[in-house]
């Protein structure tokens, strides 16, 4: 009835769209995750930072000491009308090894653990379903050790960590560690790229 009335009066009606959603994920070095999620369709913002620890406003040096309890994470804001949380999580579990506790490749310590921080029950459920899909896929031999925790606080990393791969892609770490993850993402998730 509202639509008919609006049409008769010549009023343009807009449909309500789902608000942007934010999730915080850690799977090793935050530079790797940021570089991949920057290419994912529907992602509007990716910020590297720290979460899951005890210290307020930690520095990179403090976090990499492995004593603060923080993980290197990315805070991803995305449009759920363009990108589903399930697809976003499938990318997450494809670009890091969720079976290695406190390490990703040569990056070792609790700051490099696999962690997914949910903001509500819907996100928690999506994370748990994604873990079940990965476990059932047989892609990894070991058990999934990804921590699933309620989101508490996110501390943005220092400015020089933001968009690191975009600015330093030719450096050895970027070429040897980040570039292969991007290539894997591009091959496996070509339809989800911007």
Neighbours of 66 (CB within 10 A): 14
Beta bridge partners of 118: 150
Q: What is the pLDDT of residues 7-35, one digit of tens each?
A: 444 544 445 556 899 999 999 999 999 99
CATH for 18-192 (3.30.1060.10, 3.40.800.20, 3.40.50.10490, 3.30.420.270): 3.30.1060.10
CA–CA separation, 109 vs 67, rounded Å? 9
Instruction: With H, G, I as helix, E, B as strand and everything else as coil, classify residue 3.
Output: helix
Contact 114, 145 (CB under 8 A): yes
Residue 174 annotated as catalytic = no
> 99-158, pLDDT tens digit by residue?
999 999 889 999 999 999 999 999 999 999 999 999 999 889 899 999 999 999 999 999
pLDDT digits (tens, 9 = 90+) for 156-180: 999 999 999 999 999 999 999 999 9
Catalytic residue among 23, 24, 28, 29: 29
Domain edges within the chain: 18-192
């Amino acid at each position: 009835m509202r639509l008919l009335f609006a049409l008769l009066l010549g009023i343009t009606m807009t449909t309500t769209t789902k608000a942007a959603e934010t999730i915080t994920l850690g799977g090793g070095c935050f530079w790797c995750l940021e570089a991949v999620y920057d290419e994912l369709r529907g992602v509007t913002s990716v910020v590297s930072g720290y979460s899951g620890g005890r210290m307020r406003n930690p520095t990179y040096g403090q976090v990499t000491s492995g004593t603060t309890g923080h993980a290197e994470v990315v805070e991803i804001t995305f449009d759920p009308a363009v990108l589903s949380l399930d697809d976003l999580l499938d990318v997450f579990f494809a670009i890091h090894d969720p079976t290695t506790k406190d390490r990703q490749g040569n990056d070792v310590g609790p700051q490099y653990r696999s962690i997914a921080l949910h903001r509500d029950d819907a996100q928690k459920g999506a994370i748990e379903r994604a873990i079940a899909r990965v476990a059932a896929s047989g892609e990894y031999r070991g058990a999934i050790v990804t921590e699933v925790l309620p989101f508490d606080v996110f501390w943005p990393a220092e400015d020089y960590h933001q968009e690191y791969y975009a600015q330093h892609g030719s450096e050895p770490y970027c070429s040897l560690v980040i570039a292969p993850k991007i290539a894997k993402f591009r091959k496996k998730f070509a339809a989800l790229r911007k």
